[in-house]
Structure 1
Amino acid sequence: MTVKLNIIVANDSCEVDGGAALVALEDAQALARKGHRVIFFSACGTPPVNQTGIEWISLGQRTILDEPNRLKAAVNGLWNASAANALGALLTQLPKESTIVHLHGWSKALSGSVVSMVHRKGFRLVCTLHDYFSVCPNGGLYDYPTRRVCTRQPMSMSCVSRNCDSRRYAHKVWRVVRQFIWRYGAGIPRKFDLMIAVSKFSAEKIASHAKGSSIEVVDNLPTLQQSALQSMEQRSAVVYAGRIAAEKGVDLYLEACRIAQIPAEVWGDGPLLPELRQQWPDANFSGWLPKAELTKRLQKAQALVLPSLWYENSPMIIAEAAAAGVPVIVSDHGAPATLVEDGVTGLHFRAGDAADLAEKVAQLHKDPQYAHVMGQTAYKRFWMDYDARAHGRIEQIEACYQKLLGAAE
């Protein structure tokens, strides 16, 4: 591609607080290296000091969970007018014919107001779907009280009347109001010119609830440097790494480790961390780990467990584990089951079944040679054409931009 664009990458935060932010930041860096003018626009966070080639705009706000003024949090969560106005002011300085807005996360701070502003100003908008907030009030297509995936039609009477929230029904009502405002006030997902799904599974799931939407699949691929594959003797723990939240099934992993009588190691942070620390005093909880430390630890892990109860889209940790030569044990539903080949690069277990997970965990713990062989296969497959895939992925995103801008002319 020879045409250089103005690309506004928009996300709730400019700090890495999850997978969406990591993808947004790494894509921004890759696009800047291609010579595009990249402006990273966020409501929250402190811009990194060592990132050149990117212009940073952070509004210095708090997420709706971190905002101490709960009335302000509730209002901004529905419609963050100041974020929309700031984005609108930025857009007035840029030419429509060579500018793309690429939205990643908006549910924690930016709100659907920014989608409305982009459309009102007449710019093209791409949205990468890291979750299901484009169609589902709680963002997960997940019923928290029953700990099962939700099969209801989002925003139907069955959905609205069901208390599926992780807290209480009053919060579900607020989420329904928010979704109504976003759907009919902001036009989500109708006013996304293009939606990028991070896996074929999530594309099909979103398409089933957003008829007629334009969706392109662009697989997640973290920015990594290849290291030598560690020997079997240097590996020991069967670990969980990721966000510690109800839908992630961390307690299922802990129960499986108890049944299998092996040590449990949990790497990550999230709302359930204090509760799980109290309930499982014998488990080792590391808290949040910087990317470099996570990579270092993965190289010494025997296996990784991803026990998700909800429909995961495309967790970056699967690719990070493969890059370190670590087999992954995943639930047999959602995108992870399509990313891990059962018995070849990892194992599948029945979603929500602690006994079945314990059997798989024990199998790899007792047979390190089997785990190592699967890890070797995952490692070889990941690095075999990594550079070509990384380059092709950014070219695919650039092609999406060009197609939209060409259609606008």
Structure 2
Amino acid sequence: MRHHQPDRVVIINDRSERVGGASNLAVLSAELIRERGIPVIYFAGDTIGAAIGTAEMVGVGGQPLVNQGKLTATIGGLYNQAAYDSLRTVIARTDSPGTIYHVHGWSKILSPSIFRALWRVRSRVVLHAHDYFLSCPNGGYANYQSHRVCNLTPMSARCLTTQCDKRGYHEKVWRSTRHLIREHFFPTRYTPANIVIVHQHMHEYFTRAGINAEYIRTIRNPVEPFLHAPPSPAANKPFFFIGRLEPEKGFEDAAKAARLANVPLHVIGDGAGRAVLERDYPEVVLHGWKNKDEIAALVTAARCIVISSRVPEPFGLAAVEAVASGIPVIIPQAALLAREIAELGCGLPFENGNIAALAAAMTRLAGDDAMVRAMSENCLRQRGSMAHTSLSWAEALFELYDEILERAHPGQQAALAG
């Protein structure tokens, strides 16, 4: 039985629309909370577009940093005065002892300034770690120059002097400065914060950064399968890559490996790398960006889903969607789901960035219908064990809110019990 139901939940996110993983979940959480009859304020860094149910919408009116001028983005990315002023006003106007503040995304528009506004309600703030930005200045525990997983301690001397950023060392310095500003306004190293991680192995990365792990909670993302009817992957030939066509996602590794293994590769996704595939890998079938229903129609022809990211993906949505659909996956060892997928018999792991190893895994699955069939059956048996449904995810959030309000008001439960 819950003793503490929130008076309201303030969802805080860079974007007000579904434009990526964190934003999808921020909007979904607002919808699910409103369905429980709890008032929601959705606070976004951009200009509010469509309404989210009956939630109160508050927009700062900003643009993503990548769409701003260089000087404006440099200054505003470190400290967005408008975001601070607007959030401080919302808190002053609506705060109560039972209000929860749930931060989903802040690095693309809102900036560390929001944490200054949130400091006085810190005990009731939830930081949802959809990525590693709370612990790693570039957000990925990756060296984007070498496209390798980074094993350095974040913000150590070696970290600060290593050029790992996509754009240049000046960007690394800027990101490190932003990290220090965020930690100044909302310290996590010595003072525990309410942090949600999306996979239990993220805990190791956060403790490596020195974050106080006392109130870290694992809540896996909700996932809907691509397919609801059992597929027949063993009857198919094509391998599918699904994701952004950026170097860290390893799209070119997948293309090179498919060529070595002499297997057909289909790519669902878009980005700067599309031109590379069109020029250098004409045998790859490019489908571009597709919505959920379109992806479902395409992957009925999939033998396997290939995840070839060179960074330690914290969750790997496409991998879980594939497993939940009964489609085997090939996944790099550094992905946090890799060990689990291998142990459940749902796919094959390979060494990150090792194209020959990826090609060998493709060759193995291409030539063994019985293995693919067995993996598909394992996937369908395990489909409910790797992620939440929307309803169970909402329940996990409310359990967390209950615990947070109990810590914030420890005497209230005893009074209710008396």
- Structure 1 residues 226 and 326 mapped into 2: Cα distance closer, same or farther (>3 Å)? closer
Q: SS state of the match for residue 333, structure 1?
A: coil
Cα distance in 2 for partners of 1:385, 1:131 equals 18
1:11 to 10, 13, 18: 13
Q: Relative to 1, partners in 2 of residues 1:181 and 1:272: Cα closer, same or farther, differing over 3 Å?
A: farther
Structure 2 counterpart of 1:345, one-letter code: C
CA deviation string 1:193-245 (max 9, x = no partner) = 30001001112221221342321111112246972113347744211112222
SS at match of 2:12: strand
Q: Give 1:310 deviation, angstroms.
A: 1.2
What does 1:308-327 correspond to in 2, within 5 Å? 308-327=309-328
Which residue in the other structure is 2:41 paired with? 39
Once residues 87 and 123 of structure 2 are traced to their aligned partners in structure 1, the CA distance between those partners, rounded to angstroms, is 12
Say if 2:353 is the partner of 1:331.
Answer: no
Q: Which moved more, 1:138-147 or 1:2-11?
A: 2-11
Cα deviation, residue 384, structure 1: 7.8
Higher relative contact order by CA 8 Å / sep ≥ 6: 1 or 2?
2
Supply the distance in 2 between the matched residues of 1:147 and 1:64 (Cα, whole angstroms).
Answer: 23
Q: What's the counterpart of residue 173 of structure 1?
A: 173
The structural deviation recorded for 1:341 is 2.4
Counterpart in the other structure of 2:305: 304
The 5 A counterparts of 1:109-258 are 109-120=109-120, 124-187=124-187, 193-213=193-213, 214-223=215-224, 227-232=228-233, 235-258=236-259
- Residue in 1 aligned with 2:263? 262
Q: How far apart, in 1, do the equivalents of 2:193 and 2:325 lie? A: 37
8 A contact 2:83–2:113 mirrored in 1: yes
Q: Tell me if the contact between 1:116 and 1:185 (Cα under 8 Å) persists in the aligned partners.
A: yes
Q: CA deviation at 1:101?
A: 0.8
Cα-to-partner distance string for 1:11-46 (whole Å, 9 max, x where unaligned)? 111223322222222222222222222222211365
1:243-392 correspondence runs (5 A): 243-342=244-343, 344-383=345-384, 390-392=390-392
Quickly say closer, same or farther: Cα 1:182–1:364, change in 2 above 3 A: same
How far off is 1:186 after superposition?
4.3
CA distance in 2, matches of 1:173, 1:103: 25
- Map Cα deviations across residues 313-343 of structure 1 (whole Å, 9 max, x no partner): 0122122112221111101123121341257
Q: How many residues end up aligned between the 2 structures?
A: 406
Matched, 1:407 2:407: yes
TM-score scaled by structure 1? 0.91
Structure 1 CA distance, aligned partners of 2:58 and 2:236? 42
TM-superposition CA deviations, 1:132-167 (whole Å, max 9, x none): 111211111111222221122211221111111112
3-state SS, counterpart of residue 100 of structure 1:
strand
What secondary structure is seen at the aligned counterpart in 2 of 1:212?
coil
Measure, in 1, the Cα distance between the counterparts of 2:364 and 2:272: 31
Aligned residue for 1:329, secondary structure, equals: strand
Q: Is the 8 A contact 1:116 1:187 kept in 2?
A: no
**AA in 2 matched with 1:107:** S
Q: 1:44 to 1:279 in 2, by over 3 A?
A: farther
Aligned equivalents of 2:312, 2:385: Cα separation in 1:
28
- Mapped to 1, the partners of 2:385 and 2:311 lie a distance apart of 31
In the alignment, is the contact (CA less than 8 A) between 2:245 and 2:271 conserved in 1?
yes
How much does 1:277 deviate?
3.6
TM-score (norm 2): 0.89
* Counterpart Cα distance in 1 of 2:94 and 2:50: 24
**Stretches of structure 1 lacking an aligned partner (at least 5 in a row):** none
Root-mean-square deviation over aligned CA pairs: 2.5
Q: Deviations over 1:45-98 (max 9, x none)?
A: 65345x42433333332111122x211111111111111211121122223311
CA contact (8 A) 1:299 1:324 kept: no
Note if 1:92 corresponds to 2:88.
no
